[in-house]
């Protein structure tokens, strides 16, 4: 069974995507009376039309998560127009910490997949609050950022999105790093197709695109839900897929004591391997800049 803690717009969308894949039964929990139950019913009706036979249930009681092998942490407040992800830190840390403790109590063997912002810092909060091994706590940001970078590039180049391979690492925030040096279009290096200025513009556009969505419709919903479902499949089905996501580092990339986006292999036990990339000097500078931001945020936490 897969659990989702937080049945707001993103949590519900994640549950819908996961259930639609037929991965496993899904349990939603939320403190708002009736919300998780209502979303579970709505999702179940959609699944009936699609002919997908998984059970979806909702409750305000965390015992609904008993025995879950994966729990998505989606509880917390979303960004409002004009806010950065880090603006949510104090309030959402105060939500994610207690929620994670409840999840750990009822699903002690689960992998935790954190999506609440500021995601990297709250992945750290979930790791500490749960007491789980670092391999069983992962954050979702890099894969989402990569989908946005591919969208920007596909529009700019006039090519299929499926022809683009890339990576986005670092902080899931204003310091995210779309890696132009590791981006290819049908095997052709990006740097041979766009000028340095055009590449930088694409990177800048990627960093701003989520804020643009929030300004227009109030929240990013569909893309995060899709990304969570893809990561859930990698974990539940033990596919060993390599994706950019947030992990706790102990010496990798010269960093320790924080969670930040890196390429990693996902399987049934969570994070199975972290891959270290060769970064350009400019990319390394951005990576370290993001790490400094995260260290400062962690230092200000009251855990």
In a domain, 215, yes or no: no
Residue-number span of the structural domain to which 127 is assigned? 2-140
CB environment 204-223: b (16+ within 10 A), e (fewer): ebbbebbbebbeeeebbbeb
Q: Per-residue pLDDT tens, the chain, 303 aa: give them.
A: 999 999 999 999 999 999 999 999 999 999 999 999 999 999 999 999 999 999 999 999 999 999 999 999 999 977 667 666 667 888 899 999 999 999 999 999 999 999 999 999 999 999 999 999 999 999 998 999 999 999 999 999 999 999 999 999 999 988 899 999 999 999 999 999 999 999 999 999 999 988 899 899 988 899 999 999 999 999 999 999 999 999 999 999 999 999 999 999 999 999 999 999 999 999 999 999 999 999 999 998 876
Helix (H) or strand (E) holding 182: none
In a domain, 135, yes or no: yes
State how many domains the chain has.
1
Distances (CA, A) of 33 to 39, 40, 68, 71, 139: 12, 13, 22, 20, 27
In a domain, 212, yes or no: no
| Alpha-helix residue ranges (DSSP H) falling in 158-300 | 196-217, 222-236, 281-299
pLDDT tens-digit readout, 89-127: 888 999 999 999 999 999 999 999 999 999 999 999 999
In a domain, 70, yes or no: yes
In a domain, 126, yes or no: yes
Instruction: Tally the C-alpha atoms within 13 A of residue 76's C-alpha that lie toward its C-beta.
Output: 32
Closest CA to 289 of 143, 177, 127: 177
In a domain, 258, yes or no: no
The pLDDT of residue 84:
65
Closest CA to 245 of 176, 187, 190, 152: 176
In a domain, 174, yes or no: no
Instruction: Indicate which CATH number applies to the domain containing 49.
Output: 3.40.50.720
Active site residues: 172
| Percent of the chain surpassing pLDDT 70 | 97
In a domain, 123, yes or no: yes
Please tell me the pTM assigned to this model: 0.95
The pLDDT of residue 289:
95
Dihedral of alpha carbons 16, 18, 24, 28, sign: negative
């Amino acid at each position: 069974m897969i659990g989702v803690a937080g049945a707001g717009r993103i949590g519900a969308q994640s549950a819908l995507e996961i259930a639609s894949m037929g991965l496993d039964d899904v349990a939603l929990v939320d403190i708002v009376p009736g919300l998780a139950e209502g979303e579970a019913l709505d999702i179940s009706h959609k699944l009936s039309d699609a002919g997908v036979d998984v059970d979806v249930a909702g409750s305000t009681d965390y015992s609904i998560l008993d025995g879950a092998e994966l729990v998505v942490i989606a509880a917390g407040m979303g960004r409002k127009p004009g806010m950065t992800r880090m603006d949510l830190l104090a309030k959402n840390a105060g939500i994610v910490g207690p929620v994670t403790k409840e999840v750990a109590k009822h699903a002690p063997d689960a992998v935790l997949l954190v999506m609440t912002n500021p995601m990297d810092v709250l992945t750290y909060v979930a790791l500490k609050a749960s007491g789980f091994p670092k391999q069983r706590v992962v954050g979702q940001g890099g894969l989402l950022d990569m989908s946005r970078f591919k969208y920007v590039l596909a529009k700019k180049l006039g090519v299929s999105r499926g022809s683009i391979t890339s990576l986005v690492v670092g902080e899931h925030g204003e310091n995210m790093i779309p890696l132009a040096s590791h981006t290819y279009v049908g095997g052709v290096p990006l740097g041979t197709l766009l000028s340095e200025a055009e590449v930088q513009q694409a990177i800048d556009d990627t960093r701003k695109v989520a804020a643009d969505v929030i300004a227009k419709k109030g929240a990013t919903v569909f893309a995060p839900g899709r990304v969570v479902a893809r990561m859930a499949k990698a974990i539940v089905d033990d596919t060993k897929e390599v994706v950019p996501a947030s992990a706790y580092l102990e010496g990798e990339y010269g960093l320790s004591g924080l969670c930040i986006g890196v390429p990693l292999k996902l399987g049934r036990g969570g994070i199975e391997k972290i891959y270290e990339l060769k970064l350009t000097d400019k990319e390394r500078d951005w990576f370290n800049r993001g790490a400094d931001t995260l260290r400062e945020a962690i230092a200000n936490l009251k855990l």
